[in-house]
Amino acid sequence: MAAAIVFYVSGHGFGHASRTIEVINAILVRRPETRIGVRTAAPRWLFDLTVKGKVTFSTLEADTGVVQIDALTLDEADSIRRASAFHSDLVTRAASETRILRELGAGLIVGDIPPLAFAVGAAAGIPSIAIGNFTWDWVYADYPRVRLAPSLLPAIRGAYARASMALRLPMSGGFETISNVKDIPFIARHATRTREEVCKILKLPTDKPIILASFGGYGLPGLDTDALAKLKKYTAITTANLPLGRGRKEMPTAERTGSFISLNEEAMYDSGVRYEDLVGAAEAVVTKPGYGIISECIANDSAILYTSRGHFPEYDVLVEDLPKYARSAFINHDDLFAGKWETHLDKLLAQPKQKNYKKPETNGADVAAEILLKALDKPPKKPRGRPKAKF
């Protein structure tokens, strides 16, 4: 039986999982018989709804990421505390994974981008490849409280150093401890339906531009949806990220109040519309800067109205590079939560496209899939024989 690829995926937000799914789908297109395992704390429903094939899914906290109080607020101190506790026994955690890998028949490990993945690879003697746009040591090093956990960064960096290779995405930070780094294009989900098809299937109005509010699994509690319902020039849409349970088809796909529409995401997928189709149908996406949603906006030519998301080092890198790739503008928290979007959207959508703009490649999933399958096919290194005893 052919060896399997086992993915270890950060459960922080949806971005790591969504781009891993794109890579998995690209692998299955090329080689449908490929056996794939997934180890993550990201919600299973996200994989069930979007993987176009069979995977062996199992829940595992692969890292602790950053502790989010809500979509826009994080807890630095607790982030460092949890990361330090988790990585303090990384060797033991890695050793305990070797049995699982044997059961899965692993021949290659891929991590996006928990250090555990590469510690596991070293413990099991299996090649491991990192995929991501940042590393966790790079993130934690920016937090002053990391000095209270002196063993944290060395543990993470030691694990990353065991990776066979890193596939580094645009808008990146970190990767200094990985010796073999290859840059690849954006990994992004691409719409397969037109705006007209999306609106027809989901029964969305077509008289005004669609604005998608996208804030991941946390949503945006406190948002004044009554104000959004009164928007004159735009239709604002958001989705309920948690599925409501199979068999509950009586739930409406969309609930509308004036210019504000809430979509049941599970019902949306059941109707044949995927989240990237919704991004493609939107003139603009209102969001916090994160790699996943930014890459999808770039791929689908949607403008981005972004807000601040707390002290997360990736934010500065993303915001600095964003104007190179998409029309973008900032909205402060006061106007965001109050639903005062109209003026900001007017200015954003009035921005002219850059002269001589060349859209970046967004086929990173295909590039990664080719590299991973080639690595999977590579014969394993023969173990070296024991050195002769000296007398």
Which residues is 4 bridged to in the sheet? Answer: 106
Question: For 17-60, what is each residue's pLDDT tens digit?
Answer: 999 999 999 999 999 999 999 999 999 999 998 999 999 999 99
Burial 159-175 (b: 16+ CB within 10 A, else e): bbebbbbbbbbbbbbbb
Residues 279 and 330 grouped into a single domain: yes
- Whether the predicted pLDDT of 262 surpasses 90: yes
Q: Do 124 and 99 meet the contact criterion of CB atoms below 8 Å apart?
A: no
Residues 160 and 222 grouped into a single domain: no
Residues 203 and 339 grouped into a single domain: yes
- Identify the three-state secondary structure at position 175: coil
Question: For 123-179, what is each residue's pLDDT tens digit?
Answer: 999 999 999 999 999 999 999 999 999 999 999 999 999 999 999 999 999 999 999
Q: For residues 228 and 2, what is the distance between their CA atoms, to the nearest angstrom? A: 53
Percent of the chain whose pLDDT exceeds 90: 81
Name the token pair of 128.
């491991």
Question: For 273-304, what is each residue's pLDDT tens digit?
Answer: 999 999 999 999 999 999 999 999 999 999 99
What's the pLDDT at 391?
30
Q: With bands split at pLDDT 50, 70 and 90, how would you rate the model's confidence at 386?
A: very low
Residue 232 lies in a domain: yes
Name the token pair of 132.
């991501």
Average pLDDT over residues 75-102: 95
pTM assigned to the model = 0.92
What's the pLDDT at 172?
96
Overall number of domains in the chain:
2
Residue 358 lies in a domain: no
Residues 31 and 104 grouped into a single domain: yes
Q: Do 305 and 343 meet the contact criterion of CB atoms below 8 Å apart?
A: no
Residue 355 lies in a domain: no
What's the pLDDT at 217?
67
